[in-house]
Amino acid sequence: MPLYDNAPTLILDQLRRIADGERVGIVEIGELTVSQFAELVRQKREMGHEPPASRMLVYLGRHHYDSRVRKDGYLPCDLVRQLEAALASTSVIETHRHMTAVVSTSDRDDGHGNKVRDRAILELQARKPRAEVYSVVPKRDFIRPKKQQSP
């Protein structure tokens, strides 16, 4: 599994500190598998882009928190599940002109009435040589927690 054993604890602590208004630094949460990394390198070279030099994944969490907790109403534990699903060893690499992602290959019950496919968006320039997991998009989350709470 690409996430380190202690990654859920690190991620939850990071998100708690963000919620408390603290400034946080990046944390190392895992690595791409050898085959995921090889595919990422292949796709980046095919596009004429410089591939990352390391399989390591780091996480800041601020954008992920703002998008999924503040905007959509998810809980921090939901964000951990998103990361676990998107960064599974069975996930695939998708590279487009302006976006690189690690995408789950199986549906996940998000606990809010949806079957989602989680897509971890990678930032490959800011934390060289490591890839930063910038955010996760739970695709097909038609019913978001915030909508469930609205009158």
Work out whether strand 27-31 and strand 115-123 pair parallel, antiparallel, or are unpaired.
Answer: unpaired
Give me the phi and psi of 84, to 5 degrees please. Answer: -60, -40
pTM over 0.85: yes
What is the tens place of the pLDDT at every residue in 16-37? Answer: 999 999 999 999 999 999 999 9
Q: Give the number of C-alpha atoms closer than 13 A to the C-alpha of residue 129, restricted to the C-beta side.
A: 9
Work out whether strand 56-59 and strand 131-139 pair parallel, antiparallel, or are unpaired.
Answer: parallel
Confidence of residue 147 (pLDDT cuts 50, 70, 90): low
Grouping H, G, I as helix, E, B as strand and the rest as coil, residue 95 is: strand
Cβ contact 108:39 at 8 Å: no
What is the tens place of the pLDDT at every residue in 47-104? Answer: 999 889 999 999 999 999 999 999 999 999 999 999 999 999 999 999 988 899 999 9
87 vs 145, higher pLDDT: 87
Grouping H, G, I as helix, E, B as strand and the rest as coil, residue 18 is: helix
| pLDDT of the residue at 113 | 85
Query: Would you call 40 exposed, middle or buried from its count of C-beta atoms within 10 A (0-12, 13-18, 19+)?
Result: buried
